[in-house]
Amino acid sequence: MARGRLNSGSKAEAELPKAKLNKQSLRNVSKLLSYIKPYRLKFIGGLVFLVISSLVGLAFPGFFGALIDASQGVKRYGFVPADLKKIGEVAIVVLFFQGFVSYFRITWFVQVAEKSLAAIRRDTYFRLITLPMNFFANRRVGELNSRISADLSQIQETLTTTLAEVIRQVIILIGGITLLVIISWKLTIALLVILPVLIVFAIVFGKFIRKLSREAQDQLAESNTIVEETLQGIANVKAFVNEAFEAGRYDKTLQRVVNIAVRGAKFRGMFGAFIVFCLFGTIFCEIWYGSYLVSIHDKGMTFGQLTNFIVYAAFISAAMGSLPDLYANIQKAVGASERVLEILHEQGEDVSINAEDNVTKKQINGNLEFSNVEFAYPSRSEITVLKNVSFSADAGQKVAIVGPSGSGKSTMAALILQFYHPQSGSIKFDGVDADHYALTDIRNQVAIVPQDVLLFGGTIAENIAYGKLGATREEIITAAKKANADNFISGFPEGYETLVGERGVKLSGGQRQRIAIARALLKNPAILILDEATSSLDSESERLVQEALEVLMKGRTSIIIAHRLSTIREADKIIVLEKGNIVESGNHQELIANEQGLYRYLSQLQFENA
């Protein structure tokens, strides 16, 4: 029987897919074992102690037999006198030793597993966050999350518990059967003929019952979804007077739950009857035959031996019963390891895990140039998103990019940030190709104020300091003041210590943007990308954000992805994109003068809508 968990990992998902165990998969997994290397002495020590404690555990029931025999005046072993007191003394010493060995086995295994798993977790997480954006385009966050949680917990469980259990159970199985044969080969043969058949039957039957109960759980989950949906959309339910409909829908799924559960109960009952009849029947027959052997004295066995036999028989039945589960656990762990290794083997971006390595080495003044940039997202390589795009922004200039939805504006921002690389053409900073800069040099000196500002769970101060991790409190407050954020922050009872994010206060769109502006101010970048929010703020909030943006843009190159053309009249240059091509560029006056131009058309459209 698998033991309780000894470690901190959360319960691994029962549904983790199993992998086939073969040479290749085991070779793959052995790569993860390199994480155990630094702790190999402890690991080997733990293994040795495990073998010792398993052997001692196996030998211990010998005392029961010896005690019973001694009580009847029969001396069992040459080295143990037929004296209850002496046997008791030896047993206490052995128990003490067993306790000592078990303590170190458990603590060492857990220490090795926790430390090496923490290293694997850290490496996986770090690799994950340094993988190129394209990697994330093809994967769901939930799937990646489960690599870090469920997959790694499964590996952890295997290292701390399953591995030890397999070794223990195999020792018990081999040692136990050997001892049984020594005690009575006749009884052993009888046992070994019946037991495996019963266990295989019980396992197959057990699996079938588990499948049924999973089906019932799935049904229950479905009915819970109805409750959730209905409660979330309660206003809709009421407005359409659909209470009866919803109740009926819920009732139907409940009925299905009951049907499956009742069907499962029948099989469960049969299983119970089988266990009672066959398993207990077998035990009874064994004891019956054993008692017969005891009764014929000289050719048979002693009471003590019969007791020993029964205890060992229980041991090996439990060991046999636990092996399939343990095997399935190892299969799951192998599958989990392969998935984790997949991430570890991915090529990450050139960002170091040490913050000191990521400091800016080459300064950028703010001159930016796209020349003949062609780009298609690697995940959709057949669609060219940017075609032959060329433009330049001098240091300190404001350049706006406008164009219909899907024309490629955000893609240009992604290219400036080096999230992707053009298939042809080049992007230059201060006249030098982006490839000649360290990736971190570019990202350190380019800041983005995105449309949708993501705030991390933490305080407002921490969120602002995300732009400059070592910022002092004064720097944070100064940035917030410049970003027109200090007023609303000071209005909260906890001020800068107010928690935001899931468990904190919910900030309005305009407030979040001002926090993002403060963040960018702290970062003090040479090049700024503003992805203007599409959803309009109320006019007061917009004024505050706009003012803050003006402060932020001062003295740096600003690339403004504009949705509302009214905000970019003052831009030094406006680039008009259409389906990935630059169709026009110039300042507002020049562009508006072109009667056939897209800019003029878009302006008119917005003016009319307004």
Ligand X SMILES: Nc1ncnc2c1ncn2[C@@H]1O[C@H](COP(=O)(O)OP(=O)(O)OP(=O)(O)O)[C@@H](O)[C@H]1O
Q: Select 130 or 410, whichever has its Cβ closest to ligand X.
A: 410
Q: Is the dihedral of CA 72, 74, 75, 77 positive or negative?
A: negative
Cβ neighbours of 532 (radius 10 Å): 20
Task: Find the DSSP H helices in 33-150.
Answer: 40-59, 61-71, 84-130, 133-137, 141-146
Which of 267, 274, 327, 377 lies at the binding interface for ligand X (CB under 6 A)? 377
Please report, as a single letter, which amino acid is at residue 339. R
Q: 31 or 380: whose CB is closer to ligand X?
A: 380
C-alpha to C-alpha distance for 79 and 89, rounded to whole angstroms: 13
Distance CA 423, CA 435 (A): 13
Sign of CA dihedral 528, 532, 533, 539: positive
Nearest distance in Å: CB 128, ligand X = 17
Residue pointed to by tokens 């009847």: 72
Q: Which is nearer to ligand X, 121 or 563 (CB)?
A: 563
379 near ligand X (CB under 6 A): yes
Q: Candidates 146-154, 376-384, 517-525, 542-550 — which segment interacts with ligand X by CB under 6 A?
A: 376-384
Rounded to whole angstroms, the Cα distance separating 485 from 481 reads 6
Nearest to 409 by CA among 538, 526, 584, 562: 562
Give the shortest CB-592-to-ligand X separation in angstroms. 21
**Given the complex with ligand X, which of 184 and 411 has the nearer CB atom?**
411
d(CA 423, CA 378) in angstroms, rounded, equals 10
Amino acid at 146: S
The least CB distance from residue 419 to ligand X, in Å, is 9
Cβ-Cβ contacts under 8 Å for 97 (sequence gap 6 or more): 56
Helix (H) or strand (E) holding 400: strand 398-402
Tell me which residues in 137-156 interact with ligand X (CB under 6 A). 137
Residues numbered 389-428 forming contacts with ligand X, rule: CB under 6 A: 403, 405-411
Minimum Å distance from CB 414 to ligand X? Answer: 7
Closer CB to ligand X, 230 or 407, in the complex: 407
Q: Which of 380, 506, 554, 569 binds ligand X (CB under 6 A)?
A: 380
Closest approach of Cβ 208 to ligand X, in Å? 45
Considering only residues 75 to 104 of the shown chain, the ones binding ligand X according to CB under 6 A are none
Count of residues of this chain found to bind ligand X when the rule CB under 6 A is applied: 13
Site for ligand X in 438-497 (CB under 6 A): none
Q: What is the distance between the alpha carbons of residues 227 and 67, in angstroms, rounded to a whole number?
A: 62
Output 406 or 555, the one with its CB closest to ligand X: 406
For the chain, what percentages of helix, strand and coil (3-state, to nearest 5) are there? 65, 10, 25
Of 209-217, 272-280, 379-387, 537-545: span binding ligand X (CB under 6 A): 379-387
User: In the numeric block, which tokens belong to residue 207?
Assistant: 């699996």
Is 136 an interacting residue with respect to ligand X (CB under 6 A)?
no
How near is the Cβ of 385 to ligand X at its closest, in Å? 4
Residue with Cβ nearer ligand X (60 or 419): 419
In whole angstroms, the minimum distance from the beta carbon of 408 to ligand X comes to 4
- Cβ closest to ligand X, residue 389 vs residue 553: 389
Closer CB to ligand X, 282 or 558, in the complex: 558
Cβ at position 532, least distance to ligand X in Å: 10
Of the pair 410, 478, the CB lying nearest ligand X is at 410
Helix (H, G, I), strand (E, B) or coil at 433: strand
257 — phi, psi (to 5°)?
Answer: -60, -50
- The residue among 153 and 585 lying less far from ligand X, judged by its C-beta, is 585
Q: Is the dihedral of CA 594, 595, 598, 602 positive or negative?
A: positive
Bridge-based pairing of strands 581-586 and 573-578 is antiparallel
Q: Where in 299-318 is the site for ligand X (CB under 6 A)?
A: none
- Nearest approach in angstroms of CB 560 to ligand X is 12
Q: Taking the complex as a whole, how short is the minimal distance between the CB of residue 535 and ligand X, in angstroms? A: 12
Maximal C-alpha separation, the chain: 119
- Give the integer Cα–Cα distance in Å for 537 and 228: 32
Nearer to ligand X, 68 or 530 (CB): 530
Cα 455-459-461 angle, rounded to 5 deg: 95
Helices and strands, number each (H, E), in the chain: 22, 12
Q: State the nearest-atom distance from the C-beta of 349 to ligand X, in Å.
A: 16
Taking the complex as a whole, the smallest distance from the CB of residue 450 to ligand X amounts, in Å, to 11
In the bound complex, what is the minimum distance in angstroms from residue 377's beta carbon to ligand X? 3
Query: What's the CA gap between 191 and 202, in Å, rounded?
Result: 16
C-beta of 256 vs 579, nearer to ligand X: 579
448: phi then psi, degrees, rounded to nearest 5: -125, 135
Q: Using CB under 6 A, pick the residue from 19, 385, 544, 574 that binds ligand X.
A: 385
Token reading at 454: 């993501």
Nearer to ligand X, 17 or 406 (CB): 406
Cα 519 to Cα 296, 333, 424, 457, 505, distances in angstroms: 90, 42, 33, 15, 18
Stretch of 122-130, 163-171, 309-317, 378-386 contacting ligand X, by CB under 6 A: 378-386
Residue 567 touching ligand X (CB under 6 A): no
CA dist 179 and 59 (Å) reads 9
Minimum CB separation of residue 319 from ligand X in Å reads 53
CB-side neighbour CA atoms (13 Å) of 586: 13
What does the binding site for ligand X look like in residue numbers (CB under 6 A)?
A: 137, 377, 379-380, 385, 403, 405-411
